[in-house]
Amino acid sequence: MKAFTLTLSFFFILTGVYAQKIEFSVQANSGFFRYAGKSATAESYIHQGQPKISNYTNNPYGNKSGFGYGAGLQGQFVSKGGFIAGLQAGYEALKSKVDINGILLYNTSYDYLPGANFVQAPPVDARGETYLKNKFLNVSPYIGYRIGLKNIKLDLMPGIDLGFTLTTYENGKATTTDGNNTTVQTGLKHDKAPTDVRIKFGAALIYNRVGLNASYAHGLTNYQGNIIGDANFEAHSELMRFGVSYRLN
């Protein structure tokens, strides 16, 4: 808590605004996470490997939203004039979704054509889905303004998100629709995603000690920035959060 307070003090010094009070809150949230950008996709296919632990999704960066959750702490200075300088920090588990429309089966991955080299066969039609899951330690500094509305307060809190990735996993499952009903699953640990820097706008509606929170964050980090040689590899995050908070003091 001391380190948290010192960090908040730093933001206060930068603003040069006299703080009327300091507020500490606990928070819990859920929301929806997805990827956008040139290479984010609604559909992809699974490569079946040998052994099965090498199964993977061709493009796991889905532009369909997956459900996420998180919890953390918030501390903020509130000036007499309503100016706010604060920091939120906590843990989040977020995932995106991509629909699976095919499986590239291991034993039919390549066809031989007379007089030609081996060529890759197309994936077999399938139905399923893959989730790309990231766990983050999230830090969000912000400045904003408090509006008093009779018995409630409205805090407007633009700022940034810094999502420090802890782990990245892919989990997928699909079944062929060709009558053989072959099911293939993925359970692959990826290299940790890069630190996700996002522009964020949040708001909180507060009554007494209880608050209802909502925010939108637009990622600036390219999750495929380590792929060299093709500018089309670009996927960034988008995140909607909804939650509740309880003020401790």
pLDDT at residue number 121: 78
pLDDT at residue number 17: 47
**Residue, of 140 and 17, whose pLDDT is higher:** 140
Tell me the CA distances in angstroms from 27 to 69, 91, 171, one per residue in order. Answer: 11, 11, 28
With a cut of 80, say whether residue 208 has pLDDT above it.
yes
Give the C-alpha separation, 204 to 152, whole Å: 10
Share of the chain above pLDDT 70, in %: 86
Domain range annotation of the chain? 2-247
With a cut of 90, say whether residue 108 has pLDDT above it.
no
Nearest to 128 by CA among 96, 171, 168: 171
Give the C-alpha separation, 62 to 3, whole Å: 37
Average pLDDT, the chain: 89
Answer for the pair 75, 26: CB distance below 8 angstroms, yes or no. no
SS3 224: coil
* Residue 172 phi, psi (nearest 5): -140, 160
Stretch among 66-80, 112-126, 205-219, 227-241 having the lowest mean pLDDT: 112-126
Q: What is the CATH number of domain 2-247?
A: 2.40.160.20
Share of the chain above pLDDT 90, in %: 74
Answer for the pair 209, 239: CB distance below 8 angstroms, yes or no. no
Residue pLDDT, tens place only, 111-124: 555 555 556 678 99
Tell me the CA distances in angstroms from 24 to 32, 76, 150, 247, one per residue in order. Answer: 26, 7, 22, 6
pLDDT at residue number 128: 98
| Angle 114-119-44 from CA coordinates, rounded to 5° | 150
pLDDT at residue number 227: 72
Mean pLDDT of 181-186: 94
* Positive or negative torsion for Cα 101, 107, 108, 110: positive
Stretch among 18-22, 135-139, 141-145, 186-190 having the lowest mean pLDDT: 18-22
Decide the pairing of beta strands 43-47 and 83-104: parallel
SS3 234: coil
Query: What confidence category does residue 216 fall into, taking pLDDT thresholds of 50, 70 and 90?
Result: very high
Give the C-alpha separation, 60 to 171, whole Å: 9
SS3 48: coil
